[in-house]
Structure 1
Amino acid sequence: PTLEELRESEKPENVIAVVTVRQKKKQKHQERIESMKDQTISKERFRNEEYLRKWKNSRAEWKFEKLRQISIQQTVFDEEKICAEMWPIALEYLSGSKGAAKAQIIKLAEQCIEELDKQCAEQSSDEEHKVIIDSSRYQRARDLLQSFD
Structure 2
Amino acid sequence: MVGKKKHKTKRITEELEETSFDVNNDTNVDNMDSDNKDIVKSHKRKHASYENLSHSNKTENQYDTSSDTESKPKKLKKKKKLVPSDSSEKKNKKSIRQMKREKHAERQAAAEAVAKDQLKSQCLNYLSQWKYDRPNWKFMKAKQVWLFKNKFSTNLIPDASWPLLLEYFESAKGNIRNLLLADANKIIKQMDDWTDLQNNEENNIPEDQQDSSITKPHDTVYNRARSLIQCLEE
TM-score range, shorter chain: 0.7 to 0.9
Distance in 2 (alpha carbons) for counterparts of 1:107 and 1:119: 18
Distance in 1 (alpha carbons) for counterparts of 2:133 and 2:178: 27
3-state SS of 2:135 partner? coil
- Superposed CA RMSD in Å reads 3.1
Q: How does 1:6-25 map to 2 (within 5 A)?
A: 16-25=91-100
Q: 1:35 aligns with which of 97, 102, 110?
A: 110
What is the aligned partner in structure 2 of residue 127 from structure 1?
none
3-state SS of 1:86 partner? helix
Distance in 2 (alpha carbons) for counterparts of 1:117 and 1:22: 53
Q: Aligned-pair distance for 1:107? A: 2.6
What is the aligned partner in structure 1 of residue 123 from structure 2?
48
Q: Aligned-pair distance for 1:36? A: 1.3
Superposed CA offset, 1:106-143 (max 9, x none): 2332344455666777789xxxxxxx566322211221
What is the aligned partner in structure 1 of residue 169 from structure 2?
94
Q: 1:136 aligns with which of 193, 199, 220?
A: 220
Amino acid at match of 1:148: L
Distance in 2 (alpha carbons) for counterparts of 1:31 and 1:115: 37
Question: TM-score, normalising length from structure 1?
Answer: 0.73
Q: How does 1:65-76 map to 2 (within 5 A)?
A: 65-76=140-151
Distance in 2 (alpha carbons) for counterparts of 1:146 and 1:79: 19
Query: Cα distance 1:54–1:114, how it changes in 2: closer, same or farther (>3 A)?
Result: same
Distance in 2 (alpha carbons) for counterparts of 1:88 and 1:109: 16
Distance in 2 (alpha carbons) for counterparts of 1:58 and 1:140: 26
What is the aligned partner in structure 1 of residue 136 from structure 2?
61
Tell me if structure 2 keeps the 8 A contact 1:106–1:145: yes
Query: Cα distance 1:87–1:117, how it changes in 2: closer, same or farther (>3 A)?
Result: same
Distance in 1 (alpha carbons) for counterparts of 2:227 and 2:121: 23
Structure 2 gap segments, 5+ residues each? 1-85, 200-215
Q: Aligned-pair distance for 1:64? A: 1.1
Tell which has more relative contact order, 1 or 2 (C-alpha 8 A, sep 6+).
1
Query: Cα distance 1:115–1:44, how it changes in 2: closer, same or farther (>3 A)?
Result: farther
Tell me if structure 2 keeps the 8 A contact 1:133–1:139: no
Q: Aligned-pair distance for 1:74? A: 0.5
Q: Number of aligned residue pairs: give it.
A: 133
Distance in 2 (alpha carbons) for counterparts of 1:87 and 1:74: 14
Identical aligned residues as a percent: 27
Question: TM-score, normalising length from structure 2?
Answer: 0.49
Tell me if structure 1 keeps the 8 A contact 2:190–2:217: no
3-state SS of 2:139 partner? coil
